[in-house]
Copies of this chain bind each other. A is one copy, B any other.
Amino acid sequence: MSSSDLTYAIIGSGALGGYYGGRLAHAGAEVHFLLHSDYEYVCEHGLAVESTQHGDITLPSVNAYRRVEDMPRCDVVVIGLKTTSNALLPALLPPVVKDDGVVLTLQNGLGPEDDAAAVVGAGRVLGGLCFLCSNKVGPGQIQQQRFDHIKIGEHAERGVTDRMRRIASDFEAGGVRVALDDDLPGARWQKLVWNVPYNGLAAVLGVDCTVLMSHAEPLVRDLMLEVVAGAKAVLDLDIPIGFVEKMLENTRNMQAYKPSMMIDRELGRPMEVEAIYGEPIRRAEAAGCALPKMRMLYEQLCLIDRDKRVDEGSPPV
């Protein structure tokens, strides 16, 4: 294991930020964690990351902070918050990014790079797509079940840059497989092919992916095909039908998997409705492409989430 001399700030150290930050720190990188409810526990007991894949990690002493003003400015600021908290970014990012530092957002859906770019400028933003199943099982305790690889790309340009490679090598030193993607917007639309049907339908109907596949596969497929149509309209991207079939086939073999949005609803947490539905729909409609079933699912989710949408700017219509 080796690591670069980049310093990392983890904004939002939950199941996602805590996991990747823990792996970076375990590999020797200098990592600073912003914590909220777990701050005191982590100060006292450190951070634990369980993984059947990589073995368990214990970090008895971590650089923990309650406020960004107390953190050192870092080279790479990793956003591990839910997109529903992005209204906080103008307050959270400036104190903690070095003048020549970058922001790497690991958030879901479409638009997280734009939220970060509005604060630090488009040229200093990278995005990461996480294929990760992990949960916070207690204060400072992250459990990774399977998958943890990441796709990283630049927000403001196509191509693979040197800073992408440096960040990737730090993650890889921590055992995380990283793919460098020269088309981040395309990768984000492609990821929506899975996220759009399963997250929303599971949350609205209260059933896991296995039930969706055995009782609503035609609807799942229709929603996937709308995402494909949206990607074509917005990016002129051709997502092959074989990719849709592969997503369906992969999900058929998952054992009773609950998508994150279903878990968010069960736990009474806000759902990432705008990032996964509102923003893609608005972009597709602006390009002249209506996505009727996706819009219906969006409107259903907005209704379900109506009491938790105070922080989100975009109205559903």
Interface, chain A (partner B; CB < 8 A): 201, 204-205, 207, 211-212, 215-216, 218-219, 222, 292-293, 296-297, 299-300, 302-304, 306, 316-317
Contact = CB atoms under 8 A, between A and B. Distances in A.
A216 B292 contact: no
Contact of A317 (B207, B211, B218): B218
A219 B317 CA distance: 10
Given A212-B303, A215-B303, A219-B299, 20 more contacts: A201-B300, A204-B204, A205-B304, A211-B303, A215-B302, A215-B306, A216-B299, A216-B302, A216-B303, A218-B299, A218-B316, A219-B300, A222-B292, A222-B296, A292-B292, A292-B293, A293-B293, A293-B296, A296-B296, A296-B297
5 contacts: A205-B300, A205-B304, A212-B303, A216-B299, A296-B296
Nearest to A216: B303
**Among the interface residues A211, A292, A296, A304, which one has the most CB atoms of the partner chain B within 10 A?**
A296
A303 B218 CA distance: 12
A212 B303 CA distance: 8
Contacts of A299: 216, 218-219
A306 B302 CA distance: 25
A297 B204 CA distance: 11
A300 B204 contact: yes
Contacts of A219: 296, 299-300
Contacts of A296: 219, 222, 293, 296-297
A284 B303 CA distance: 28
Contact of A303 (B205, B222, B300): B205
A215 to B, nearest CB: 4
Contacts of A212: 303
Contacts of A216: 299-300, 302-303
A247 to B, nearest CB: 18
A218 B299 CA distance: 9
A298 to B, nearest CB: 9
Nearest to A304: B205
**Among the interface residues A204, A211, A300, which one has the most CB atoms of the partner chain B within 10 A?**
A300
A304 B299 CA distance: 19
Nearest to A303: B215
Contacts of A304: 205
A207 B293 contact: no
